[in-house]
Amino acid sequence: MIREIYFAAGCFWGVEKLFSSVDGVIQAISGYANGISEDKANYKDVCKGNTGFREAVRVKYDSDFVSLENLLFLFFSIVRVEQENGQANDIGEQYKAGIYYTDDYSERIIERIVKVEKEYYSHFYVETKPLENFYMAEDYHQEYLTKNPGGYCHIGLYAINKLKNIRILPEEYTKAAKLIRQDRGYDI
């Protein structure tokens, strides 16, 4: 079944690169999620930090090939949940971490996984809520790291290449999360 989920994890370039590399992901598109109005859904305005938008990636995936739990595992492997107002050197509300869903099925899974993830951190700043709106980012942002392999991103290419092949079963999420949270073994 084709489903979609929206991830905000700082600059969208690396997030898009990671998820577009995962088997079972049909499409990963950079854009702006949950902001105040369509006319403010552009890089210039979003960078001002007062639009409510998050740099986000729409991930369309085939749930017969990759589970939402697996995608959430990858998301939590790249996001710094204890950073309140951004990710790494990317600071501002547009870089806040978030997971946005469009259906009850996804909401239930996200709630369960977030409960597991919260056990590993004293502070947890990942917003989880329904998607209100999403607007595709400008063309030059799409596949940015593919077109600009030396481009800056807080998620390193080493991490992307290591993570893209990770496969976990939904029922093994807790065990897998514990192992990777104790020792990431790579630099995001």
Question: Torsion over CA of 107, 110, 112 and 115, rounded to 10 degrees?
Answer: -130
What is the DSSP code string of 52-87? Answer: --EEEEEEEEETTTS-HHHHHHHHHHH--TT-TTEE
Which residues, including other chains, have CB under 8 Å from residue 86's CB and lie 6 or more apart?
Answer: 10, 92, 95, 96
Catalytic residue from among 5, 8, 11, 15: 11
Q: Which of 69, 68, 88 lies closest to 78, judged by CA?
A: 88
> Per the structure block, which two tokens stand in for 128?
């989880």
Quick check: 57 and 7 in contact, CB under 8 A?
yes
Helix (H/G/I), strand (E/B), else coil: 157: helix
Q: Which DSSP symbol is given to 50?
A: -
Q: Which of 3, 10, 53 lies closest to 153, judged by CA?
A: 10
Does residue 47 have an active-site annotation?
A: no
Q: Which residues are catalytic?
A: 11
